[in-house]
Amino acid sequence: MAIPVIYNFRSVKARWTSAIVAVLGIAGTVGVFIAMLSLARGFRATLVASGSADNALIMRAGSTSEMTGAVSLESARILQDAPGVARGADGPLITTEAVLVTPIPLVSTGTDANVQVRGVSPNVFDIRKNIKILQGRMFHSGLAEVVVGKNATGAYRGLTVGSTMTMGGQSWNVVGVFDAGGSAFDSEVWCDVHLLNGAFKRPADTFQSVTVHLTSPAAFQQFKDYVTADPRLNVEVSREIDYYAKQSTRMTQLISILGGLVAGVMAIGAIFGALNTMYSAVAERGREIATMRALGFGAAAVVVSFVIEALLISFVGGALGAVAVLPLNGFTTGTMNWQTFAHMEFAFQITPILLLSGLIFALVMGVLGGLPPAVRAAQRPIATALREL
């Protein structure tokens, strides 16, 4: 026969100080676990959201990031007529881009950050359809004007609409803010590609990457086959979304390894804490347990009862830890993208799945911390336990 669960509730209540300590130990561990995973997730999501499945990114063969690419104007002309490229009102949907970094002070610390600047074609919003102007207007082609991402305008100094910034030794007017839906573009500054090449003394007929909008995601293979087969082109084609996913791997890996390690070691500490709490519970209740056994509850019932108690404590701990980190959701922070050395703003992303895995993690800790004391409680000879003071 099973021992009623109400017994566990009451006994936790009776020894609430040590139960609270065990709860907090588990809460801390779960909190760190969820926070680290959500950070890695947020970083990855920001980069992945930058790409669309129906866009193709073309760089020089062998380039690992846009920073190191080079695509000539002639190649771009061949690319725009390739099959699978969508057409808009004024011609094929293609943007030739130059990407570089320029130092702009951070609002938070006043020190320079390498802000990613992207020279784009004026029709870029037809290619990256999920990006909208939030405030002000788009830059006019041929004028020294820039539009900035919504994270960039808050994170870096002097990037508000109406102000003037210096870049490549020239002055540029900030005329608009765009919303790229929380992707990496939101940390960027965009301007006319030809003016950017001029300001940074780069060859006018060379770009670093070309992005085309495809008629459909399925048209990618056709486009890729055509481009790969053309002997005039020495380029690498990838889906925009795959390119950005790949860019996030190093940082995500680092955060996941570090976070996993810290949470893992902390879990050992928390299990020790839970073990301590449960062992003292068992020791303090030696007579109680023996009485129950004498009344006819089996050894298995005692084990189950103690494990339930440990699970109760760890569940509360896990839930508390999850609730405590919840405010981090959406909290924006900035760091350097190791692949491009550009500064990027991104947000913690806490998903229901993360919360659930945090809870499961807590329950696992509870079982590991509760089982050995439970077994010990069940194993003690009834007669000696009853005789104890």
Q: Check residue 139 and report its DSSP letter.
A: P
Q: Does the footprint of another protein cover residue 119 (CB under 8 A)?
A: no
Burial of 156 (0-12, 13-18, 19+ CB in 10 A): buried
Distance CA 82, CA 230 (A): 10
Q: Does the footprint of another protein cover residue 238 (CB under 8 A)?
A: no
Residue 374, helix vs strand vs coil:
helix
* Binding track, positions 160-179, relative to another protein; x by CB under 8 A: -------xxx----------
Q: Residue 286, Cβ neighbours under 10 Å: how many?
A: 17
List the beta strands (DSSP E) in 123-194: 132-136, 145-149, 164-167, 170-179, 189-192
Per-residue CA distances from 4 to 290, 375, 379 (Å): 16, 18, 20
Exactly one of 40, 113, 241, 313 binds another protein (CB under 8 A); which one?
113
Q: Does the footprint of another protein cover residue 63 (CB under 8 A)?
A: yes
Pair 274, 365: CB distance under 8 Å: yes
Q: Does the footprint of another protein cover residue 230 (CB under 8 A)?
A: no
Distance CA 386, CA 383 (A): 5
Residue with Cβ nearer another protein (70 or 133): 70
Exactly one of 89, 201, 229, 232 binds another protein (CB under 8 A); which one?
201
* Binding track, positions 364-383, relative to another protein; x by CB under 8 A: --------------------
Residues 308-367 that bind another protein (CB under 8 A): 333-336, 343
Pair 147, 120: CB distance under 8 Å: no
User: In this chain, which stretch among 182-190, 218-226, 259-267, 291-299 interacts with another protein, using CB under 8 A?
Assistant: 259-267
Pair 275, 373: CB distance under 8 Å: yes
* Binding track, positions 262-291, relative to another protein; x by CB under 8 A: x--xx-xxx-xx-xxx-xx--x--------
Burial of 282 (0-12, 13-18, 19+ CB in 10 A): buried
Exactly one of 5, 143, 204, 261 binds another protein (CB under 8 A); which one?
261
Binding site for another protein (CB under 8 A): 17-18, 21-22, 24-25, 28-29, 31-32, 35-36, 39, 60-64, 67-69, 100-103, 106, 109, 111-114, 167-169, 200-201, 203, 234, 250, 253-254, 257-258, 261-262, 265-266, 268-270, 272-273, 275-277, 279-280, 283, 333-336, 343
